[in-house]
C-alpha cells in the first residue's frame, strides 16, 4: 500500500508544527530532516497534507524574488565573484538611519563581510572590503567585486583600495536597480525574518548585535534553496558534496523500502555547479533566491 497512513500524516503535521519547524516551509523542513537521516515523506506530500489542514499560510513571510539582466559574471568557486550593497536600518531618531554594509560570495551565498555604520561613506566601505579580502585570503587578480552605482561604490577611496588589492570592480547599469540581485535578495531575507525588530534600533550597538546574530544564522543554519538546501558555510567550505550525497543515499533507501510511493527519479541532490551573477536566461534567473 503506497498511501500514507494516518499515523504518518499525523507525524508530518506534528513535525511541521513543532517549535523548530513551524516557521519553515516544507522545502526547508524536508532537507533538514534528511540531514538527520530521517525521511517522513516527499516535499510534495508535506505541501499536500499541510494544505489540506490549512497550515500553509504565512509559514515564510519573505516575498517572491525577482531578477533581471545585464553583464554576466560566472563564479565557479568561492571568493571569485562577490557582490555588495548598503541598506538602511531605522534608528530611534526620526528621519535618521544606520547603514548596513554586506558583502556576499556569489558562489556560496555566504556573507563574507558586514558592518553597521552611522553614516554612508567611502572610507567605511573601503575598510570593510580590505578587511574581508584579508580574512578570506583573496589573492591579487582573483576576485571581481560587483556593486551598484552609488557614491561609496564608485568613490575614489574605494577604487584606489580595489586597485591596491588587485580586485576587479564591476558595476550595475546606470539607473537600473536590478543588476545586483543577490544583494537585494539577501536584504529581503533579512528584513522579512520573523525576528526582525518591529521597532527601530535604539543604538548602533543594538543594530550590530542583531545583524551579527542574523549573519550567524544565515551562514551557518539557513538552508539556501538556490544551492540545493545546504548552508552557505557548507558550500563555502566545500562540504556540500558529502551532505548531498548522504541525502541521495537516504532517498534511495526510502525508495527501495516503499517503491510504490515513488514515480520517476528521486529528488535531485546533485551539487550545484558554477553560479552566474546577472544571468541572461530565465532558468538561471529563477535560481537567484535565498
Count of C-beta atoms within a 10 Å radius of residue 206: 17
| Residue 131 region by backbone torsions, left for phi larger than 0, else alpha for psi between -120 and 50, else beta | alpha
Q: What gap in Å lies between CA 275 and CA 285, rounded to an integer?
A: 10
Give the burial class of 2: count Cβ atoms within 10 A of its Cβ; 0-12 exposed, 13-18 middle, 19 or more buried: exposed
Q: Please tell me the pTM assigned to this model.
A: 0.80
The pLDDT of residue 148: 79
Q: Residue 30 contacts by C-beta under 8 Å, 6 or more apart in sequence?
A: 42, 43, 46
The pLDDT of residue 179: 61
The pLDDT of residue 89: 95
Given a cut of 50, the residues of the chain with pLDDT beneath it are 64-70, 175-176, 280-289
Give the model confidence (pLDDT) of 103-131 as tens digits: 999 999 999 999 999 998 889 999 999 99
Q: Residue 98 contacts by C-beta under 8 Å, 6 or more apart in sequence?
A: 88, 89, 90, 91, 116, 117, 118, 201, 204, 207
Q: What gap in Å lies between CA 24 and CA 53, rounded to an integer?
A: 16
Cα three-residue angle 177-89-79, rounded to 5 degrees:
60
Q: Where exactly are the structural domains of the chain?
A: 6-60+238-271, 73-220
The pLDDT of residue 60: 57
DSSP assignments along 64-120, one per residue: PP----SS-EEESSTTSEEEEEEEEEEBSSTT-EEEEEEEEETTT--EEEEEEESS-
Count of C-beta atoms within a 10 Å radius of residue 123: 14
| Length reported for the chain | 290
Is residue 255 within 8 A of residue 268, CB to CB? The reply is: no
Give the model confidence (pLDDT) of 25-51 as tens digits: 898 899 999 988 899 999 999 999 988
- Compute, in degrees rounded to 10, the torsion defined by CA atoms 19, 25, 31, 36: 10
Q: Name which of 103, 229, 231 is nearest 158 in CA terms.
A: 103
CATH number 3.30.420.10 is the correct assignment for the domain at 73-220: yes
Amino acid at each position: 500500500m503506497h498511501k500514507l497512513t494516518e499515523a504518518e500524516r499525523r507525524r508530518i503535521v506534528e513535525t511541521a508544527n513543532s517549535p523548530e519547524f513551524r516557521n519553515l516551509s516544507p522545502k526547508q523542513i524536508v532537507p533538514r530532516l534528511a540531514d538527520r537521516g530521517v525521511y517522513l515523506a516527499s516535499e510534495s506530500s508535506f505541501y499536500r497534507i499541510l494544505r489540506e489542514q490549512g497550515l500553509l499560510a504565512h509559514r515564510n513571510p519573505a516575498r517572491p524574488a525577482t531578477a533581471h539582466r545585464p553583464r554576466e559574471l560566472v563564479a565557479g568557486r568561492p571568493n571569485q565573484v562577490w557582490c555588495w550593497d548598503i541598506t538602511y536600518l531605522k534608528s530611534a531618531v526620526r528621519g535618521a538611519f544606520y547603514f548596513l554594509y554586506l558583502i556576499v560570495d556569489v558562489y556560496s551565498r555566504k556573507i563574507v563581510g558586514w558592518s553597521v555604520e552611522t553614516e554612508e561613506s567611502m572610507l567605511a566601505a573601503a575598510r570593510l572590503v580590505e578587511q574581508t579580502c584579508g580574512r578570506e585570503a583573496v589573492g591579487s587578480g582573483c576576485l571581481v567585486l560587483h556593486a551598484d552605482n552609488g557614491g561609496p561604490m564608485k568613490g575614489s577611496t574605494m577604487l584606489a583600495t580595489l586597485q591596491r588589492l588587485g580586485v576587479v570592480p564591476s558595476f550595475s547599469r546606470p539607473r537600473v536597480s536590478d543588476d545586483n540581485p543577490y544583494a537585494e535578495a539577501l536584504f529581503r531575507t533579512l528584513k522579512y525574518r520573523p525576528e526582525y525588530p518591529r521597532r527601530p534600533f535604539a543604538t548602533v550597538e543594538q543594530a550590530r548585535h542583531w545583524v551579527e546574530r542574523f549573519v550567524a544564522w544565515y551562514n551557518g543554519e539557513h538552508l539556501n534553496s538556490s544551492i540545493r538546501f545546504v548552508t552557505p558555510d557548507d558550500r563555502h567550505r566545500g562540504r556540500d558534496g558529502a551532505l548531498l550525497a548522504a541525502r541521495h543515499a537516504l532517498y534511495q533507501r526510502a525508495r527501495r523500502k516503499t517503491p510504490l510511493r515513488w514515480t520517476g527519479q528521486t529528488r535531485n541532490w546533485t551539487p550545484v555547479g558554477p553560479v552566474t551573477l546577472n544571468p541572461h536566461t530565465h532558468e538561471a534567473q529563477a535560481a537567484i533566491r535565498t
